[in-house]
Amino acid sequence: MAHDVVIVGGGHNGLIAAATLARGGLRTLVLERSERVGGCAATDEIAPGFRVPALAHRTAIDSHVIQSLELERHGLRIVRPAAYACAPTTDGRALIIWADTERACREIATFSSIDAERYPAFLESIRRITVVVRSLLDASPPDLDALAPADAIRALRTGRQFRALGRTDAYRLLRWLPMAVSDLVGEWFESEPLRATVAADGVLGSFLGPRSAGSAAVMLLLAAGEGRPIAPGWMPRGGGGALAEALCAAAKQAGAEIRTSAAVCEIRVDDDGRATGVVLESGEEIGASRVVSAVDPRRTFLALIDPIHLPPEFRRRAQNIRMRGTLAKVNFALTAAPEFQGLAARALADRVAALSGCVRLAGSVDSIERAFDAVKYGTFSDVPWIELAIPSVTDDTLAPAGQHVASAYVQYVPHTLKDADWDHQREQLGDRVVDVIGRYAPGFERLIVAREVLTPADLEQRVGLTGGHVFHGELALDQLAVARPLLGWAQYRTPIKNLHLCGAGTHPGTGLDGRSGLLAAQAILTAP
């Protein structure tokens, strides 16, 4: 039977789009290349009994999505950390950013009383500013060439919200968007551990150092979901895979059909430039009145579509979408939780709570910047920046009793090495990560039962992220909003009729939040 919609790619955005479209009454089929759906939301058993968040170790699925798809009814259990981030030092201290602001301030005060005074004001300013950012993320960007009345109304609303910020915060928003996050944290705080811990959100997954202009915008975009900075998001009980299962269940219950191990190799386009279906690697052809691609724009336009169907200028622009991944993933199965020097003096309960969020290993903003320097020349730093998550601390389903799994975001790592190949360097990278973690948690290497290293090239292989870029395209000012994925094509449409995009490469594209999938589906349902 013919489908109303086939969705290419069963990542979180693809599933959310599928569920939304199916609820809208469209016969929807999701085609996933690998043997399981979820994309970056996955849980892998890397050793018997050790289940680790294989890729993302933090998600921030939009509350609208959670409600509209009733994900909690479909088994999603959100585990919110007691501490957003813990930044141990090598000299036996630790800065713990507790979720409870007062408690966080007491911690910060041990590093700087001035910073402790400023921290609440900082949170409040980010909260107010991200209200405006959020209202931009929650709607499809306008088409500059065909402004609809709805766009005007939305613009007015956002304009009012902007002016309602008052001069101080309004100007902050304008100044911060193009600014370097190192300058932003420098304006607020004086203690390096706090500066580095906050600045890290501005470079996550990006080809940006803290000193790169535009990194403050990344921090604001990621903060917009929950209206707070510093590792915003949470982990589902059961790891990313549990989120995938909940989304899958929601999509199926809505009536969507989901096929795994079904790799699409071509999107079929007829002579009048209309998408008519897809072709699988098996040769099987599947017809559909609409094709929706959840894979990144470069893969969609350059790998899945015969060039003849796209204007050369459009292809050139698609080729120029910047997606140079810098994030590598290292997963560990551990016999015990790492013992961070910086936490040694604390009570057990506090030690556990401190590790419930992420652990950020950077002594200073400059140490992150130095880690970035290497990647510009096609190598990786001796001292990469690391964000470690130990989800088994709060989730006993992931590891055998008393034992643990850990997941490390490692930056900066090039997709392609300058004068070497990953097959010879992959484990060296892993050793460096172990070495750096060991500086903060002596004896870490002795805890390791199993280790898995995923370079950006591996991420591309495994999840289909072109360039290994976790956001399906750099979150740069020229690749956001009306220009995401490309200026003039930000409404989830493409030059090919009946072909739509719904992946993170479209607006807003801010990580594992599902907004792109939801907005794309809504745009398709309301399209004439």
Partner 1 sequence: MKYDAVVIGGGHNGLAAAAYLARAGRKVLVLERRHVVGGAAVTEEVFPRFRFSVCSYVVSLLRPDIIRELDLPRHGLEILPLDGTFSPMLNGDYLWRVNDHAKTRREIARHSKLDAEAYDEYGRAMVEMARFVKPILAMTPPDPMTRNPRELLKLGALARRFKALPSRDRYNQLQLMTMSAVDFLDQWFETDVLKATMAASGIIGTFLGVRSPGTAYVLLHHYMGEIDGAFRSWGFARGGTGAISNAIAGAARAAGAEIRTGTAIARIRTRGGSADGVVLDNGDEIDASLVLSSVDPRRTFLGLLDPKELPSDFVADVRRFKLRGSSGKVNLALDALPDFRSLPGPGPHLRGAISISPSIDYMERAYDQAKYGEFSRRPYIDMVIPTLTDPSVAPPGKHVLSCFVQYAPYALAGGTWDQQRDAFGDAVIDTLAEHAPNIRDIILHRQVVTPLDLEREWGLSEGNIFHGELTLEQLFFLRPVPGWARYTTPVRNLWMCGSAAHPGGGIMGAPGRNAARRILGHAH
Q: Where do contacts with partner 1 occur on this chain (CB under 8 A)?
A: 144-145, 163, 167-168, 170-171, 174-179, 183, 187, 208, 211-214, 313, 316-317, 320, 322, 366, 369-370, 373, 376-377, 476-478, 483, 487-488
Give me 252's structure tokens. 């199926």
- What count of Cα atoms within 13 Å lies in the side-chain half-sphere of residue 292? 39
Burial bucket for residue 75 (CB in 10 Å: 0-12, 13-18, 19+): middle
Give me 253's structure tokens. 């219950």
Respond yes or no on whether the N-terminal peptide bond of residue 84 is cis (omega within 30° of 0): no
In this structure, the chain runs to a length of 528
Q: Which is nearer to partner 1, 480 or 504 (CB)?
A: 480
> Within 10 A of 406 (CB to CB), how many other CB atoms are there?
30
- Cα 94-98-104 angle, rounded to 5 deg: 80
- DSSP 8-state code for residue 59: B
Q: Which is nearer to partner 1, 174 or 345 (CB)?
A: 174
Q: Which is nearer to partner 1, 171 or 335 (CB)?
A: 171
CA dihedral 141, 142, 144, 146 (to 10 degrees): 150
CA dihedral 41, 45, 51, 54 (to 10 degrees): -30
Q: Which is nearer to partner 1, 442 or 488 (CB)?
A: 488
Minimum distance from residue 252 beta carbon to partner 1 (Å): 41
Minimum distance from residue 187 beta carbon to partner 1 (Å): 6
Minimum distance from residue 463 beta carbon to partner 1 (Å): 25
Q: Which is nearer to partner 1, 212 or 455 (CB)?
A: 212
Q: 3-state SS of the chain: helix, strand, coil percent to 5?
A: 40, 20, 40
Is the CB of residue 12 less than 8 Å from the CB of residue 20?
Answer: no
Minimum distance from residue 221 beta carbon to partner 1 (Å): 14
Minimum distance from residue 142 beta carbon to partner 1 (Å): 10
Burial bucket for residue 267 (CB in 10 Å: 0-12, 13-18, 19+): buried
Give me 406's structure tokens. 């850990």
Minimum distance from residue 127 beta carbon to partner 1 (Å): 20
Q: Which is nearer to partner 1, 122 or 340 (CB)?
A: 122
Q: Which is nearer to partner 1, 450 or 487 (CB)?
A: 487
Minimum distance from residue 22 beta carbon to partner 1 (Å): 35
Minimum distance from residue 393 beta carbon to partner 1 (Å): 36
Q: Which is nearer to partner 1, 12 or 370 (CB)?
A: 370
